[in-house]
Amino acid sequence: MEIRTRFAPSPTGYMHIGNLRTALYEYLIAKSQNGKFILRIEDTDQERFVEGATDAIYNTLKMTGLKHDEGPDIGGEYGPYIQSERMGIYMDYAKELIEKGHAYYCFCSKERLSSLKSNNEKGDAFAKYDRHCLGLSAEEIQQNLDSGMPFVIRQKMPTTGTTTFHDVVYGDITVENEELDDQILIKADGYPTYNFANVIDDHLMKITHVVRGSEYLSSTPKYNLLYDAFGWQAPVYVHLPAVMRDAHNKLSKRHGDKSFEDLISDGYLAEAIINYIALLGWSPSDNTEVFSLAELEKAFTIEGLSKSPSIFDIKKLTWLNGEYIKNMEFDAFYPLAESKLKNAIKNSELDFKKIAILLQKRLETLNDIPRLVDFFDELPQYSTDLYVHKKMKTTKEIALSSLKAALPVLENLSDWNETAIHDALMELVQTLGIKNGQLLWPVRTALSGEPTSPGGAMELADILGKQESIKRIQKGIELLEAEL
């Protein structure tokens, strides 16, 4: 049997982390077993529809590499893949359930349904519909339909016994049928409810595995009863525990937690995000932490899924993102860095590729770039305390002496490139009989005016050019002389 999974988001906003993890696991379940991954847009909740949300879904899947085999944009054998384009299907199946005695028309008004709450003896919200319309005769039903009376179609739940289903993560789960409400299948506007459309579409699209959040565990018995009512085989259920901000709170956009789009804007790589999200609820058979998507496809197993909630640790993601940046081919890294470099540095005559080479091994996110390179445009105001470095064995006096010695050497340098600068300064170190750091640290500090920089003395001088480098070293000498 071919494994078929589906990612079925609603176009109601941004792609949150839990939703993306669901898509990833559905993708991995299919691809790890040579199956198919299907995209289906569930847009039956028209009131919550957000303009542009469908494009966000496509863009996210494209950026993360979760390529679907069937979907609205590429078609497939079981389309349409947008629920609003399948409207003629759901009513026919609902009527089939009515004929089989597993569903019924309900004509109750909103006022009557509201009154059930106010008339509740305990003052609580009513837990179940009271089946007021279940006893209507065929004549009464037809008369109401002929008169155009608004209606919904409800599923007729069993009132005795239990319903049991098996979940890959949580095992066997049993519920008392008397606790189940006669849920609505077709709403008054003619649209199917989420639960009903899911079952119909999953069956017609031959979905074998359904992955969703653990908050849907309570709805699953209703799904299974629908499958039983139609005489269909239910899919394999994979319910995932929540992704948490901390030990007590779920991730929530309302509380400032990041969506996928936010993380990309913050300078994280899509590949690193996917890698990290894969580990939020799944454990590989070894201690490997860094996976490409292709490696995840080979390593992933359902047995590795956990029922324990996972805490989203931005520090861990940041570390992982830094590892991805460090290990990228430079030709892949540079296009990502180039736009941020050009936005941060106004001097277009500088060699941005040389700067990018210095940066790549030092970044945790792409958004670190501006704060690491702003000194290239203009030397910041800085304290001469920066020249003092215990490890480099420098003092302000040593720094002043070193800069004064380096200035004429660099002024007389005919070839200005990193190799020539390196050779000249290292020869000066030998001549002065000092430690490397006692010359190179003061020169680096004078060139950057920063406590740290993405490159050393030679690299910075090469990028800044001879005129600017000489100017900055002279400035360093002036600052030190003024203080000493």
For the ranges 129-133, 232-236, 331-335, 356-360, which has the lowest average pLDDT? 129-133
Do 240 and 38 meet the contact criterion of CB atoms below 8 Å apart?
no
Contact 65, 272 (CB under 8 A): no
Structure tokens at 472: 């900055």
* 354 contact partners, CB below 8 Å, separation of at least 6: 459, 462, 463
Among the options 253, 326, 342, 361, which is catalytic? 253
Phi, psi for residue 4 in degrees, rounded to 5: -135, 120
Instruction: Give the type of residue at 482.
Output: A
User: How confident is the model at residue 114, as a pLDDT?
Assistant: 82
CA dist 430 and 416 (Å) reads: 21
**CB 133 within 8 Å of CB 104:** yes
Helix/strand number for the chain, H first, E second? 19, 11
Asked whether the predicted pLDDT for residue 124 surpasses 70, the reply is: no
253 touches 302 (CB < 8 A): no
Give the helix/strand (H/E) hosting 7.
strand 4-7
Check whether the bond before 235 is cis (ω within 30° of 0): no
pLDDT of residue 111: 87
Distance (Å) of CA 167 to CA 5, 136, 181, 231: 15, 38, 22, 20
Q: What is the pLDDT of residues 17-40, one digit of tens each?
A: 999 999 999 999 999 999 999 999
Measured distance CA(68)–CA(50) in Å, rounded:
22
Residue written as token pair 């941004």:
14
Find the mean pLDDT for residues 330-356: 96
What per-residue confidence (pLDDT) applies to 127?
57
Of 133, 135, 38, nearest to 81 by C-alpha is 38
CB 310 within 8 A of CB 244: yes
Residues 6+ apart with CB under 8 A from 120: 126
pLDDT digits (tens, 9 = 90+) for 54-104: 899 999 999 999 999 999 999 999 999 999 899 889 999 999 999 999 999
pLDDT value at 126 more than 70 = no
Residue 110: alpha-carbon gap to chain centroid: 39
- Residue 120 confidence class, pLDDT cut points 50, 70, 90: low
In 3D, which of 358, 331, 318 has the Cα closest to residue 455? 358
Q: Does the annotation mark 258 as catalytic? A: no
Are the beta carbons of 311 and 423 closer than 8 angstroms? no
- Angle subtended at Cα 316 by Cα 313 and Cα 322, rounded to the nearest 5 degrees: 140
Residues 6+ apart with CB under 8 A from 381: 449
pLDDT at 14: 80
Q: What whole-number percentage of the chain has pLDDT above 90?
A: 85
What span, in angstroms and rounded, lies between the C-alpha atoms of 99 and 139? 15
Query: In the chain, what is the greatest distance between 2 CA atoms, to the nearest angstrom?
Result: 110
* Distance from C-alpha of 300 to C-alpha of 479, rounded to nearest angstrom: 60
Predicted confidence at residue 235, as pLDDT, reads: 98
pLDDT at 115: 80
State the pLDDT at residue 116.
77
**Residue carrying the six token digits 């197993």:** 301
By DSSP bridging, strand 36-39 and strand 162-167 are: unpaired
What tokens were used for 447? Answer: 């060139």
pLDDT score of 11: 87
Cβ(434)–Cβ(402) below 8 Å: yes
Paired with 192 in beta bridges are 186
Q: Give the number of residues written for the chain.
A: 484
191-216 tens-digit pLDDT: 899 889 999 999 999 999 999 999 99
- Per-residue pLDDT, averaged over 132-145, amounts to 96
| In the predicted structure, residue 270 carries a pLDDT above the cut 70 | yes
From 28-32, 288-292, 435-439, the region with the lowest mean pLDDT: 288-292
Interatomic CA distance for residues 278 and 156, integer angstroms:
39
* Closest listed residue to residue 356, CA positions, set 374, 344, 369: 369
| Contact between 176 and 204 (Cβ < 8 Å) | no
* Burial of residue 29, with CB atoms counted within 10 A of its CB: 0-12 exposed, 13-18 middle, 19 or more buried: buried
Tokens 């699209």 sit on residue: 205
Return the percentage of the chain with pLDDT > 70, whole number: 97
What average pLDDT does the segment 415-434 reach?
97
Q: Residue 232 carries which DSSP code?
A: P
